[in-house]
Structures are given as C-alpha cells and as structure tokens.
Amino acid sequence: MSPIRLALVGLGKIARDQHLPAIAATDGIELAAIASRNASLDGVPHFTSLEALLASDVAVDAVALCTPPQGRREQAALALSAGKHVLLEKPPGATVSEIGPLNETARKNGLTLFATWHSRFAPAVEPARALLAKRHIHTVSIIWKEDVRVWHPGQDWIFAPGGLGVFDPAINALSILTRILPNPVIVTGAELAFPANRAAPIAATVEMVSGKNIPIRADLDFLQTGPQSWDIRIETDAGEVVLSSGGARLTKDGVVLSDQPEAEYAGIYKHFTGLIEAGHSDVDLSPLALVADAFLLGRRVTVDAFDY
C-alpha cells in the first residue's frame, strides 16, 4: 500500500514534541501538510486553516487534530465530510455527546475515527492489565500531580470551559484505569478546586467504584512542584501492584516486572494505520465520561486565583 498521507492540524507543543517524531518513525504513514494559524514546518505544505487545506490541491488521506478540544468537533466533522480519516488528540472533544455523531458519520462513510488515549500505549499498561485479570482487587489509589507551568506554559485554553483544567492530565490516569481494571468504573463523588479567576479546576479528588464496590480514590493536582507524580497503586489479594511513571513502570511488592522507555505516540500511529487498513474505528469515551460525571457530582470549592 502507498503510505497514508497525513495532515497535522495544530502545530503546538504536543504536536512538535510527540506527533512529529512518531509520524516520522511509523511505517505506512507520512506527513503531507500542516494546518496551523501560528506555525509552519520547513519543507511541508502549510495552510492557516483546515478549510484552506481541504480546498487546496494537496492530497491527504487523514488528519490528526492536535488543536484544543473546544473546537475539535467542527474540525472533525469537516474532515470526515471531505472523506478523510480522523485522529483525535486527547481529550477527543469538549463534551461526551459531540463524539457520537462523528463516530456515526465515520461509520456511514467507511472512514476511521480514532479517539486516542496515549497513556494506554505506555509500555507497562498491558502487562498490568494481564496481571490484574488474575487477581482480586481490594482498593485503587491514583496520585496524579504535575505542574501546569512546566507542561502547559501559557496555555489558557486548559482553564476555559471545555479545557478540563486538572483533568487534562488526569484523564490520562483515567484512561489507564479503565483499561487495566476488569470491570467498568463509576464516579460516586468529587471535590473540585476552582481558582477564583478560572472556569476549570486546578485540583480535585474523585471517589469511584468498580466491580463489587471496589473503592477507588484519585488525588489530582495541577500545581505540583518538584518531582511529578503519575502513579496508580492497586492493593490485591496477592500484594501491591504499582503502575508508575505514567504507565511506564510496573512493580509488584517492590519487584520490577516491567520498565521500558516511553513510546506512546509511536503506538498511537501504528494503531491508527492498522485501523485505516482494516476499515475500523476506535472510539472509547469511558475516560471522558468519568470526567463529565466528576463535574456533575463534584462539590465546587473556590481557591486562590491562578496566573502563569
């Protein structure tokens, strides 16, 4: 097969840090164009909007949407209507309900829609899933704390409605959680800390259950200084299982079972090319639904104003 000709929409930090290297390293796909209001890439056709790209004579088969989630629905609908396969950065959209119609459009037109959860492609996630399938789980604790000033400097859209605030990174933990546990997860309560000048939370605690009321607690913070924490601890009938470093490292009772270099986005693009070749889509909204439920059930508290 000829390589899939991909257009990258949005050329911000995540696109430069992760998407560009992964595309270059993936067989069967090539970068054919960039659509970005503020950035371009030497040697690659550039357009200031997806509309301009689709109206041009530059041939593309698929688009990867790396723009903020608030405008993702319109862009995805436009690309699908033009007959392009679509990859959605996480979170796939600003709301849960907007993704269903996109999935239906893709299905009717024989196109691939891929709602990516990059943390599910971390190297220790599948070994953790296999291990937990054989264990009785007692409790789960998530500690997901990082510094927005380091990872998202000046990106105010994260604290606008639909930007998710602390759930922008924390949804990575929820994507892992919903992959490794053998039963669905349900939110039972939450407390959300909103800065006085922002429309999305900067910290949160979320209470959940899975299976036969297995308790799950997530402690989330977007102002962590010093070492960053991306850990999931699971107490089982055979000891403590810890998935740390964002899903890169797996230990059981302190013994390392898996510890490999991060290659999440390479996994995403390998999966995307496979979906296109097979004529399938992959749209799991369970992590985004948990965030939506946390907002619905959460008790809101106001904290000090936040500015970068």
- As annotated, the active-site residues are 90
- Helix H or strand E encompassing 6: strand 4-9
Per-residue tokens: 188: 């039972």
How buried is residue 208: exposed, middle or buried, by Cβ count under 10 Å (0-12/13-18/19+)?
buried
CA angle (197, 159, 266) in 5-degree steps: 160
Strand order in the sheet with 85-88: 46-47, 29-35, 4-9, 62-65, 85-88, 113-115
Q: How far is Cα 203 from Cα 209, in angstroms, rounded to an integer?
A: 20
Burial of 296 (0-12, 13-18, 19+ CB in 10 A): exposed
d(CA 172, CA 129): 16
Q: How many CB atoms lie within 10 A of CB 233?
A: 15
Residue matched to tokens 């220790």:
124
By the 8 A CB rule, do 35 and 7 touch?
yes
